[in-house]
Amino acid sequence: MGLGRTLLFRSFNMFLVLFSILLITVTLLGPTLDKLLVDAIRNQVIDEVNQGSLKFQNLEERSSYINSQIELRSKTFGLDQDSFTLSKLIHRVVSVMTLDLGNSHYFSTDFGSTSVRDIIFEKVPKTLLLFTTANICVTVIGIFLGTYIAGKEGSWWDKLNSIFAILSNSFPSWWLAMIMILVFAFTLHIFPARATPLSSPSDPNYILDLIYHMTLPLITLIIFSFGTWAYLVRYFLINILNEDFIYAKKTMGISRRKILYSHALRNAGPPIATSVGLGLSGSFGGAIILEAVFDWPGMGKLYYDSIALFDTPIIIGLTFVSTVIFLVTIFITDIAYTLLDPRVKGG
């Protein structure tokens, strides 16, 4: 498959998945969504009436006008019928896609808006900040450590890392988070237990404060995943080190170091890229919970709180946004795989 075809195929698959998730959401939460949409329409109509030039004799006339408007608009979307219609379905899908889900019952942004879209968009960058940083660190550490260990197969370091990797796969990352708080916040008083910055977002020192509060979650994420990472890199590298072309290079007199870090690593690129993708998507779930433990003001914390308070609009919105982030991550790793794989370039 050529590069273009792969990309086309992958993006088609991505949209298929996205669409099926949307359909599942809409079918599962149909009635709830309808209620949300009617609420949204009501707010919209009242807004229009308040700002518009229409004059009413008395309150009754005003409310009857509002009600008739709501009914009219609900009808166009088919919200007044219980039965299933296409326009209703499309309307639901569109409203989820545009995060047009009305207002949250319990949450608001730092600036006071209660619109679901505003709340979610305020949280997304913080989640991305934490996890992109963590994943970059883990990738770099994992690749170098893994390569180093691959060169010393069977050594003490190798065994230690294998044990570490197996261990970190058998407990949840958010448990490690609780232990880290216990050790670094309660016992040693180095980092705060709550990762929500104390200063307000308009404060010039807000960024510094945010980074200080981010340290403990970041360290936890790195400790939790670098062992598995190094183990994977080592696994792929050792497979490659047993290939004939490596032996050929050895006999040619190329130094061991150079073979390891440039020839072998280059060839292990594609499978490593694939496991980055799988690892990322796998860690995503645990990361949502990790945020809740640290009180990091991102999507995961919002998820946790909205489940506790049963704030459906927020839950629906978050499901959609996290699906998009998840799919985009997988898509990017797929592209990376394609670019790294020499067979694709040649073809």
Partner 1 sequence: MPTRYWIHGLKGANFLQKRLLLGLLRSRRGKIGLSIIAFLLLLSALAPLVIPIKSYFMWNVPDYWINNPKTSAPYWTNILGPKEFEHISLGRNDAKISSESLEGINVVDNNFKINMKSDSFPDDFMFLYSARYSDVPPVLQIDITRPDNNTFTVYYSSLPMTNKANSSFSDRIFSTNNDVKEALNQYQNLFSFPISGFQPQILLFSDSAKPTVLKGEYQISLKFYLFDNSSRVEDAGIILGGRVFGIMGTDDLRRDLLTGIIWGTPIALFIGLTVSVFSIAIGIIYGVVSGYRGRRTDEAMMRINDIFYALPTLPLLILLMVTFGRSIFLIIGFLMIFSWMGTAKVIRSIALQMRNFQYVEAAKLMGQSDLKVIFKHIIPQLLPLTFASVAISVPGAILAEAGLSFLGLGDPSLPTWGQILRDANTADAASRGLWWWIIPPGLMIALTGLAFFLIGNTLDSIANPLRNKKKKA
Q: Where along the sequence are the contacts to partner 1 (CB under 8 A)? A: 13-14, 16-17, 20-21, 24-25, 28-29, 166-167, 169-172, 174-175, 178-179, 181-182, 185-187, 193-194, 238-239, 242, 281, 284-286, 288-289, 292-293, 303-304, 307-308, 310, 312, 315-316, 318-319, 322-323, 326-327, 330
Query: Which residues lie closer than 8 Å to 341 by C-beta, 6 or more apart?
Result: 269, 270
Judged by beta carbon, residue 21 or residue 145, the one nearer partner 1 is: 21
Give the nearer residue to partner 1 in terms of CB position, either 37 or 41.
37
Smallest gap from residue 155 Cβ to partner 1 (A): 15
Residue number, 182 or 198, with CB nearest to partner 1: 182
Nearest to 133 by CA among 271, 333, 287, 269: 287
C-alpha dist (Å) from residue 31 to 41, 311, 315, 321: 15, 15, 15, 21
- The CA distance from 92 to 33, in Å, is 7
Residue 111 vs 186, nearer CB to partner 1: 186
Of the pair 41, 230, the CB lying nearest partner 1 is at 230
Q: Minimum CB separation from partner 1 for residue 29, in Å?
A: 6
Q: Provide the token pair at 276.
A: 């980055």
Residue 132 C-beta: closest distance to partner 1, Å: 17
Give the separation between CA 347 and CA 244, rounded to whole angstroms.
Answer: 23
- Residue 94 or 183: the one with the smaller Cβ distance to partner 1 is 183
Rounded to whole angstroms, the Cα distance separating 173 from 162 reads: 18
Listed in sequence order, the DSSP H helices in the chain are 3-28, 30-51, 59-77, 86-97, 116-150, 156-170, 173-180, 206-241, 244-252, 256-258, 265-294, 299-309, 312-340, 342-346
Q: For the chain, how far is it from start to end, CA to CA, in angstroms?
A: 7
Report, in Å, the least distance between residue 312 CB and partner 1. Answer: 7
Shortest CB 307 distance to partner 1, Å = 5
Closest to partner 1 by CB, 73 vs 92, is 92
Q: For 103, phi and psi rounded to 5 degrees?
A: -110, 150
Write down the least CB distance from residue 203 to partner 1, Å: 24
- In angstroms, rounded to a whole number, what is the distance separating the alpha carbons of residues 70 and 46? 9
Query: Smallest distance, Å, CB 14 to partner 1?
Result: 7
Q: Indicate the Cα dihedral angle 281, 286, 289, 293, nearest 10°.
A: -130
